[in-house]
Structure 1
């Protein structure tokens, strides 16, 4: 008969094996589950108020919040991506058709003034007719049709994968809202930590996640306002449209708000406004680009008991190590470390280990 020590070791090994297998099952949806948990923690207060308003119907409240996430974030991003893909396909089709019917000269005549003059000078130097550049360009466009089709197919596949992950995140978000309280109670019950420690760590995670999300939205708003000022000064066409695009792209750290400034500067450049294009490009780097590195750590720090320098390096380190999701993971990892240190000092440190002084006997 196995001893109690052997049985404990075998059981511990089975637990480790089950955790490993569980990680394999969860891995395809790990980012979605993580973002769902973060959103649920940040919006749990709103969920509780809505649940009270609907007389305890938590499912209706969670469903409304899921719909709000779709409307506020996913639909504009998906629509903007579809617009870019559609415009790229239409542009490629226009170039191909123009070269086939009118040749290179017909294409250059449709360019803006400064670009058209530059293209005509280049064509004169290349002697288009002698080199039969029309035929070569038509051949090149025809041969690249398959590559363009593959590129579009890749974009569609990536969009499908993103949509699938988003659906999984929304499903997890719904259940985290509805059953999040019971999940926390279950973790507190089965955790080997002392009573209250698990809940304290989870509460720290919730505070960090809320601060990072709120600061991200607020920083995107500040960046879009700063960019709008630059668009108005540079007289960019439809400046408020560009400001709206700046706001949504500012929420995606891998792209950033300054990219929109560069795109608008490119439009000004090809339309003959060189100095305004230069101003807008500098404005995008110096003002719009640096706002994220200054405003976001300050806003995150306001909701946390953490030094501003630590927040700054946690954001940058998380972004460098984990990509976009690192903007949440970086501060969460640092907050987890600091919470453990604080709990250890309080419950196991010297102050907790010191015996209370014996009472002085009366004389």
Structure 2
């Protein structure tokens, strides 16, 4: 019996390593499909009685595709337009006045216009003009998107059965398994939904402040803030604070002070109060742990790592808590 068990464990380990080797090149797309299926599962449960288990995933995929692709296309068009304007020196930013103010106070001349144009041109060229790299990235993205859609359909259709099988296969008592999976579920839901919700609210709140203060290209900077707001503690601050200082330097002290006060009182308070309520309390994760998970996830998996990193650390915390509460005294 021991030999048979040892052989079976060896076979499971080897097959697991081979499976990881096969999946690893498309790991970010597989994980993206898992996250999307998890987020859409509550809607799938409600649609199944009306559409059936086969049509419900198709309807949700169509809905999610429209809800994600259409805003992304509109924002991307605005970003491209603004990048072109900045690269051409037509951003609407009064950089010459900022340079004059800096020179008056420091006695040194700084070519901010040239730096902004060069940076925007570099970003634009690297993103849109590298045809060979763009083709390879587009080809991989096409395969990845097809994989995401394929997996998303079957994860929505059969995901509940798979989770039930995982619970049965977990070699723990049923009560311990239920507590462990409940905590993992709370962590995952808080990171996915709460992360996106807080980032969107914070970015939009910052965008309203930019619009009221009269900062040029508010759509571009709002999109940047929404993305940066996914980084806890330091996200949207990187946009509204320099924007407030810019307004002060170009001779708009009231607008600059308004934006700085608005950023501290409104935008930062969203990060300080809404994020702990929506994410930290449910996920039982310290903001520092979330920040480490975000940066580590981005470094390892790209954009998907924004969510996978904190979830992985949350699962680690859940398993350690389960061990401490149920098995440390055995």
TM (norm. structure 1) is: 0.64
**Structure 1's 83 and 319: CA in aligned 2 closer, same or farther, altered over 3 A?**
same
Distance 2:152 2:80 in 1: 29
Q: Deviations over 1:258-296 (max 9, x none)?
A: 4553685588579x4453574377458635356335421
Aligned 8 A contact 1:51 1:61 in 2: yes
Q: Match of 1:115?
A: 96
The structure 2 residue matched to 1:311, chosen from 268, 272, 286, is 286
Aligned 8 A contact 1:219 1:291 in 2: yes
Q: How far is 1:47 from its partner?
A: 1.0
Give the secondary structure class of the aligned counterpart of 2:129: helix
Q: Deviations over 1:282-313 (max 9, x none)?
A: 45863535633542122124535x3xxx4323
Distance 2:41 2:315 in 1: 20
Q: Match of 1:37?
A: 34
Q: Match of 2:321?
A: 341
Q: How far is 1:49 from its partner?
A: 0.6
Distance 1:168 1:276 in 2: 52
Q: How far is 1:24 from its partner?
A: 0.8
TM (norm. structure 2) is: 0.69
Distance 1:52 1:79 in 2: 34
Q: Match of 1:245?
A: 223
Q: Deviations over 1:46-97 (max 9, x none)?
A: 211111122xx123221222223223334323442344345545765x57xx
Give the secondary structure class of the aligned counterpart of 1:193: coil
5+ residue gaps, structure 2: 104-113
Q: Deviations over 1:132-191 (max 9, x none)?
A: xxxxx9xxx9xxx99975653348458635565444334322221111122123323444
Is 1:279 the counterpart of 2:257? The answer is yes
The structure 2 residue matched to 1:62, chosen from 54, 57, 62, is 57
Give the secondary structure class of the aligned counterpart of 1:48: helix
Distance 1:319 1:24 in 2: 24
Indicate the RMSD between aligned Cα atoms, in angstroms. 4.4
User: How many pairs are equivalent?
Assistant: 303
Q: Match of 2:171?
A: 192
Q: Pairwise mapping of residues 1-363 of structure 1 onto structure 2 (< 5 A)?
A: 4-54=1-51, 57-85=52-80, 87-89=82-84, 115=96, 152-154=128-130, 156=134, 160=138, 161=140, 164-195=143-174, 197-198=176-177, 200-236=179-215, 241=219, 245=223, 248-249=226-227, 252-253=230-231, 256-261=235-240, 272-275=250-253, 278-279=256-257, 282-283=260-261, 286-287=264-265, 288-289=267-268, 291-304=270-283, 306=284, 310-323=285-298, 325-339=305-319, 341-342=321-322, 345-346=325-326, 348=327
Structure having the higher Rg: 1
Q: Match of 1:358?
A: none
Give the secondary structure class of the aligned counterpart of 1:253: coil
